[in-house]
Amino acid sequence: MQFVHIADIHFDIPFSTLSDKNGLDLKRKLEQRDSFKKVIDYIKNNDIKYLFISGDLYEQEYVKESTIEYINKLFKEIGSTKIFIAPGNHDPYINNSFYKNYNWNDNVHIFNKENKMFSFDDVDIYGYGFDDFYIQNSGVEKIEIENKDKINILVMHADLDGVKNSEKAYNPISSKDLNKIGFDYIALGHIHNTNFDKNKKALYPGSLTSLGFDELSKHGMIVGNIDKENYNVEYIELKENELKEINVNVSEILDIEELIQKINEITEGEQLYKIVLCGKRKFDINVQRIKDIVSRKNLIKIKNETVIGYDVDKISKENSLRGFFVREVLNNKNDYTQEEIEKAIEIGLENL
């Protein structure tokens, strides 16, 4: 059997960090749709018979009905493909969910909190869906496979080998318990970075597109072609406008003008950037001021991790205006925090 496995699309997630960036939040949502459309086109062009979506297809709190209609319209384009959705913690099967209250296309099968199984000639597909935003125990480990001569698949949103007995649990289950059951493939969702290994049977595809700067790995889908004798899976990356995190060492940069010029040079192109400033600074760094001046609209975040680059002790011994200034600041250090003292020194020395 051939299948495509995706998860964690998060349609209509707010992208709040991009909302003040001249429509970048909308652009990112369009990129989500483009990636999803690529999956549907791949299924269509390769006559894939099964699509597994392992939760967090959309954001329950924010999703619009028009988005659901868009998704279902694409599902209709692959009408001969059987689609299985296991709701997750961001799109649980609750009373006001679209899973429960929308007329999905006939090829769409949605799991709920009951451990269900859909049986076909060559494969039995088991699954579990969240019915709340947190799930302590789904009972999946108690599943007994009915026909071990067939291909047996499990589809669910879960925290593999996650922490149990937590108030905010996301269906923690051990890989040891899953392996005992004997599934031929386990389609997981919840972790946004893929754990792909062609020899593993319990796999996360990761989020379909990167949703933040903590998700800088590749993003895409898992494609499988398996039977009882052969196990073949591959990871297909879906190219998108990347989120890039770049470290800029300021130790050799002399002033704010040079730093801004360097940031402008780095952030050319269509990618969305996070700049992390590091090293020893010789001038005052005001992150908001830099963001206001930098001309690139695709610069999303600047993080300042620099440390003061002046040898304060050495300067304080100078017989100069600089030395006098530093000594005066240090004489009052008990009245201020260390951060305030350092900031006063670097601003003063920069102006001197």
Distance between CA atoms of 213 and 204, rounded to whole angstroms?
19
| Best CA proximity match to 329, nearest among 306, 351, 349 | 349
Res 185: pLDDT: 98
User: How is 129-168 classified by DSSP, letter by letter?
Assistant: --SSS-BS---GGG---S-TTSEEEEEEE-EET---S-TT
Res 220: pLDDT: 93
What are the chain's domains? 2-237 (3.60.21.10), 243-351 (no CATH)
Per residue in 285-304, pLDDT tens? 888 888 888 867 777 788 88
Res 108: pLDDT: 98
Per residue in 55-94, pLDDT tens? 999 999 999 999 999 999 999 999 999 999 999 999 999 9
Instruction: From residue 210, give the alpha-carbon distance in Å to each of 159, 161, 314, 324.
Output: 19, 23, 47, 52
Instruction: From residue 259, give the alpha-carbon distance in Å to each of 32, 138, 264, 281, 284.
Output: 33, 53, 9, 11, 11
Strand order from edge to edge, sheet including 272-278: 243-249, 272-278, 299-304
pLDDT range class, residue 160, cuts 50, 70, 90: very high
Pair type for strands 108-110 and 272-278: unpaired
Distance between CA atoms of 234 and 281, rounded to whole angstroms?
46
Res 313: pLDDT: 84
pLDDT at residue 327 tops 60: yes
pLDDT range class, residue 212, cuts 50, 70, 90: low
Angle between helices 321-331 and 338-351 (to 10 degrees): 160
Q: How distant is the alpha carbon of residue 259 from its chain centre?
A: 30
Per residue in 17-59, pLDDT tens? 654 555 667 877 888 998 999 999 999 999 999 999 999 999 9
For residue 352, the tally of other CB atoms under 10 A from its CB is 11
Helices marked H in 47-140: 65-77, 98-101
Distance between CA atoms of 200 and 159, rounded to whole angstroms?
16
- Asked if residues 104 and 110 have their Cβ atoms less than 8 Å apart, the reply is yes
Mean pLDDT over the full length of the chain: 88
| Best CA proximity match to 241, nearest among 28, 36, 42 | 28
User: Has this prediction a pTM greater than 0.75?
Assistant: no
| Best CA proximity match to 251, nearest among 211, 291, 288, 278 | 278
Res 165: pLDDT: 67
Res 215: pLDDT: 66
Core vs surface per residue 311-321: b (16+ CB within 10 A) or e:
eeeebbeeeee
Q: How distant is the alpha carbon of residue 103 from its chain centre?
A: 29
- Which residues have CB under 8 Å from 116's CB, separation 6+? 126, 127, 128
Per residue in 174-200, pLDDT tens? 999 999 999 999 999 999 999 999 999
